[in-house]
Amino acid sequence: MIAPRDVDELSTHVGREVGASAWRDVTQDDVDRFAEATGDDQWIHTDVARARESELGGTIAHGFYTLSLAPKLLAELVSFEHFRFAMNYGLNRVRFVSPLPVGQRVRMRARVDAVERREGGAGVTTTLTFEREGADRPVCVAELLIHLGL
């Protein structure tokens, strides 16, 4: 966990991974609730019996479910408590590289790619890599932009 006190301290982390979050269980209940909240109830996510017969062998989490874990998992790795605020500014690039089967565990690694001073704040570019336990390929890789108020 890093908790930079200012932009200069945060800048010392550019180009470095700040760590990996704890592993998180991916449950059918969580995936079903995500499907209900978003209206994305495609069978590969919610129909356990049908998905078991597919080439994936079971249900998989939505790509956006995985991405929605970013705020919670990032909070395990970086604290912006010394800034006036930290706000999600958007994403530059997101790739859902491989499926995340329900019943597996996922964690997220974060790397600080850039810190740019702006009037009244700073822009932070981070790469988030979501990993499935025991897998060779990541589940998702996303470039997240954060706006910090000074």
Q: Does domain 7-25+61-149 have CATH number 3.90.1150.10?
A: no
pLDDT digits (tens, 9 = 90+) for 100-142: 999 999 999 999 999 999 998 999 999 999 999 999 999 999 9
Helix (H, G, I), strand (E, B) or coil at 122: strand
CA pair distance 31, 51, nearest whole angstrom: 13
pLDDT at residue 104, rounded to an integer: 98
- What is the mean predicted confidence (pLDDT) over 78-99? 97
- What is the mean predicted confidence (pLDDT) over 76-97? 97
CA pair distance 62, 66, nearest whole angstrom: 7
* Domain parsing of the chain, residue ranges: 7-25+61-149
What is the identity of the amino acid at 128?
L
pLDDT digits (tens, 9 = 90+) for 13-65: 999 999 999 999 999 999 999 999 999 999 999 999 999 999 999 999 999 99
The pair phi, psi for residue 119, each rounded to 5°, is -55, 120
Pick from 122, 148, 128: nearest CA to 19 = 128
Percent of the chain with pLDDT over 90: 99
User: pLDDT band for position 97 (50/70/90)?
Assistant: very high
pTM above 0.85, yes or no: yes
Instruction: Give Cβ neighbours of residue 27 (< 8 Å, ≥ 6 apart).
Output: 102, 103
